[in-house]
């Protein structure tokens, strides 16, 4: 059975998308653990269609549930899980369980297959196509279906991918067997890919067959007026909150002072306690509705805001540098062998301001937002109770002002960039916030004390 929230006080998830297992392991012990991240999300670990390195999306087309993939083999995967655990992190795997590959004939693991035929695992009658359950004569999901009936969205084929008959006993058992194999290797939870395209009753049944209490968060992209809604899935796990990054893009290209009320009262958003948030993911960074690393300072500031704000379980995303939106990651013979920061790979998760805010996030947990101030459309400041305070300047000029911080008097370290901040006996600080910059302070992290967990160099 699923559990509702990630365990422990450290809940920030680094999403190392398309990273190979050996590089994830290196990152867990060298950077993520020391910085205070609580978990790492890794790419789909099962065998899949191979397009020989040309595209990123072949890994979302499962060919088998054995664990030789673009990102490494089973022993590398298992070693990565152990290393990340030793570094204090949970490991969450991207689980592609709505469908099997819809094209091609060979896999990373060297297996042969055809559409609706995956030897030793699934055959034709395990798919909706053969049971005539879809409702569309071409068996595909069409754009117009989303506003129509859940049956089309969940029983037809997503971009032609062979749609598993998840109401069938054999299929449920096979999927649960795959998830249990990962749990046996130490996996702590799952991002459920394309959950919107599987009936939540079927998913609940499958989760019920999984041992332990993995943390489950599901990809259910919100659309106003659609037949399938994220709220239909919050009874069986958490959901990825797609409105979050959409609104942040809108406000960081508009008026960040509007963020004062940001949260579940905003259109389409779920309760924070049911949501995993992200400024970008691998799909949204390739679209037009979210900020991405290509947006530079605004993207970084939005991530700092995410780690400071009291809503959801935050994810910090890093994939590879790209210009062609279909192109795959750097590879050797199709396989990803080394994710090198700054050399084809993005590493916001190592940024000193981001790691400082991971420490902030952990330190302020449970404290409400207070002391909100927005002197203009580009500058905001708020505290989390008396535990931490941040100001963000999204403008192109520096801003000097005096703010109520909610913190006791003292001289604090700016955890987003160094330097000190003096808070007076009335709890106020006079600061100059750099253009496209930030200042954040944490109770207990005064400049006379040893830094807490946020002070990790990006080397
Ligand atoms: C997800 N969400 O529901 C992933 O986040 C998303 O990235 C996946 O789509 C999708 N589920 C399926 O797991 C990606 C690409 C698609 C790609 C698909 C399968 O965004 O473009 O489709 O993975 O690899 C590709 C081709 C299609 C083709 C399809 C089937 O782009 O043209 O029809 O494969 O052969
Ligand atoms: Ca389906």
100-158 residue pLDDT tens? 999 999 999 999 999 999 999 999 999 999 988 999 999 999 999 999 999 999 999 99
Pocket lining: 162 vs ligand 1, CB cutoff 6 Å:
no
- pLDDT (0 to 100) of residue 449: 46
- CA 72 – CA 42 distance, rounded (Å): 12
User: Does 94 contact ligand 1 (Cβ within 6 A)?
Assistant: no
Determine the pLDDT at residue 2. 74
Of 49, 57, 146, best ligand 1 pocket probe by most atoms within 8 Å of the beta carbon: 57
Share of the chain above pLDDT 90, in %: 94
Residue 215's contacts (CB-CB under 8 Å, 6 or more residues apart) are: 2, 3, 5, 6, 7, 39, 90, 92, 188, 189, 190, 238
* Catalytic hit among 47, 64, 188, 219: 219
pLDDT of residue 244: 98
**Nearest atom of ligand 1 to the alpha carbon of 55:** 24
Burial of 56-71, coded b for 16+ CB within 10 Å and e otherwise, reads bebbbbbbbbbbbbbb
Task: Return the ligand 1 atom nearest residue 283 CA.
Answer: 7
SS3 413: strand
Q: For residue 448, what pLDDT band results from cuts at 50, 70 and 90? A: low
Measured in degrees and rounded to the nearest 5, phi and psi for residue 156 equal -95, 175
Give distance in angstroms: CA of 131 to centre of ligand 2. 12
Which ligand has its closest atom nearest to the C-alpha of 164?
2
Q: Residue 295, CB half-sphere, CA atoms under 13 Å: how many?
A: 24
Q: Kindly report the protein residue whose alpha carbon is nearest to atom 1 of ligand 1.
A: 194
Tokens representing 366 are: 């449970």
Q: For Cα atoms 360, 361, 362, give the angle at the middle one, nearest 5 degrees.
A: 90
- Residue owning tokens 């909100």: 372
List C-alpha distances in Å: 404 to 380, 388, 421. 12, 12, 12
Closest residue CA from atom 12 of ligand 1: 60
* H or E element that contains 442: strand 437-442
Question: Does residue 318 contact residue 17 with C-beta atoms inside 8 Å?
Answer: yes
Predicted pLDDT of residue 459: 28
| Tokens describing residue 244 | 């979050």
252 pLDDT more than 50: yes
193 is catalytic: yes
In this structure, are strands 313-318 and 13-16 parallel, antiparallel, or unpaired? Answer: parallel
Spatial contact of 203 and 220, defined as CB atoms under 8 Å apart: no
Given the cut 0.90, state whether the ipTM is greater than it: yes
In a mutational test of the pocket of ligand 1, which residue from 47, 60, 233 has the highest number of ligand atoms less than 8 Å from its CB? 60
Ligand 1 centre and the CA of 283: distance in Å? Answer: 10
219 carries an active-site annotation: yes
The pLDDT score that the predictor gives to residue 454 is 32
pTM of this structure:
0.96
Which atom of ligand 1 sits closest to the CA of residue 96? 13
CA–centroid distance, residue 101 to ligand 1 (Å): 10
Residue 401, judged by CB atoms within 10 A of its CB (0-12, 13-18, 19+), counts as middle
Question: Mutate which of 70, 159, 327 to test ligand 1's pocket (most atoms within 8 Å of Cβ)?
Answer: 159
Tell me, what's the pLDDT at 7?
67
Mean pLDDT of the chain: 95
Q: Which ligand is nearest to the CA of 153?
A: 2
- The ligand whose atoms approach the alpha carbon of 163 most closely is 2
The set of residues, in sequence order, having a beta carbon less than 8 Å from that of 148 and lying 6+ positions away, is: 227
The rounded Å distance from CA 426 to ligand 2 centre is 58
Q: What is the pLDDT at residue 132?
A: 85
Distance 192 CA to ligand 2 centre (A): 12
Note the maximum CA span of the chain: 73
**Mean pLDDT confidence for 350-374:** 98
Smallest-distance ligand from the CA of 17: 1
Q: Residue 142's CB: how many other CB atoms inside 10 A?
A: 12
How far apart are the CA of 351 and the centre of ligand 1, in A? 31
């Amino acid at each position: 059975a699923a559990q509702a929230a990630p365990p422990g006080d450290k809940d920030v998830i680094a999403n190392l998308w398309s990273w190979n297992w050996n590089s994830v392991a290196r990152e867990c012990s060298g950077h993520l653990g020391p910085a205070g991240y609580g978990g790492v999300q890794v790419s789909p670990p099962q065998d899949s269609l191979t397009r020989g390195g040309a595209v990123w999306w072949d890994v979302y087309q499962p060919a088998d549930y054995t664990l030789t993939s673009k990102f490494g083999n089973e022993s590398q995967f298992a070693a990565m899980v152990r290393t990340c655990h030793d570094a204090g992190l949970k490991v969450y795997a991207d689980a592609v369980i709505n469908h099997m590959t819809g094209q091609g004939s060979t896999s990373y693991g060297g297996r042969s297959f055809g559409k609706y035929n995956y030897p030793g695992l699934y055959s034709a009658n395990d798919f909706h196509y053969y049971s005539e359950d879809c409702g569309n004569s071409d068996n595909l999901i069409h754009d117009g279906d989303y506003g129509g009936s859940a049956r089309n969205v969940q029983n037809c084929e997503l971009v032609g991918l062979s749609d598993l008959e998840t109401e069938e006993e054999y299929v449920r058992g096979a999927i649960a067997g795959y998830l249990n194999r990962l749990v046996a290797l130490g996996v702590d939870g799952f991002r459920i890919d394309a959950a919107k395209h599987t009936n939540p009753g079927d998913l609940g049944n499958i989760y019920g067959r999984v041992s332990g209490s993995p943390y489950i968060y599901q990809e259910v992209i919100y659309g106003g007026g659609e037949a399938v809604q994220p709220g239909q899935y919050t009874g069986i796990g958490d959901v990825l909150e797609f409105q979050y990054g959409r609104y942040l893009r809108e406000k960081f290209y508009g008026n960040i002072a509007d963020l004062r009320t940001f949260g579940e009262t905003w259109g389409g958003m779920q309760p924070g306690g049911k949501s995993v948030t992200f400024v970008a993911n691998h799909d949204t960074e390739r679209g037009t509705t979210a900020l991405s690393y290509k947006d530079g300072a605004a993207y970084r500031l939005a991530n700092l805001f995410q780690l400071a704000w009291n809503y959801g379980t935050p994810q910090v995303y890093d994939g590879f540098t790209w210009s062609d939106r279909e192109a795959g990651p750097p590879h050797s013979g199709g396989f990803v062998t080394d994710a090198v920061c700054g050399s084809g790979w993005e590493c916001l998760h190592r940024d000193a301001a981001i790691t400082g805010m991971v420490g902030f996030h952990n330190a302020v947990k449970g404290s409400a937002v207070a002391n909100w101030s927005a002197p203009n459309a580009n500058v905001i400041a708020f505290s989390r109770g008396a535990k931490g305070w941040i100001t963000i300047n999204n403008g192109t000029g520096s801003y000097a002002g005096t703010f109520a911080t909610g913190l006791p008097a003292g001289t604090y370290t700016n955890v987003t960039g160094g330097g000190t901040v003096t808070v007076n006996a009335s709890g106020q600080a006079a600061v100059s916030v750099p253009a496209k910059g930030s200042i954040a302070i944490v109770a207990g992290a005064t400049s006379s004390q040893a830094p807490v967990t946020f002070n990790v160099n990006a080397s």
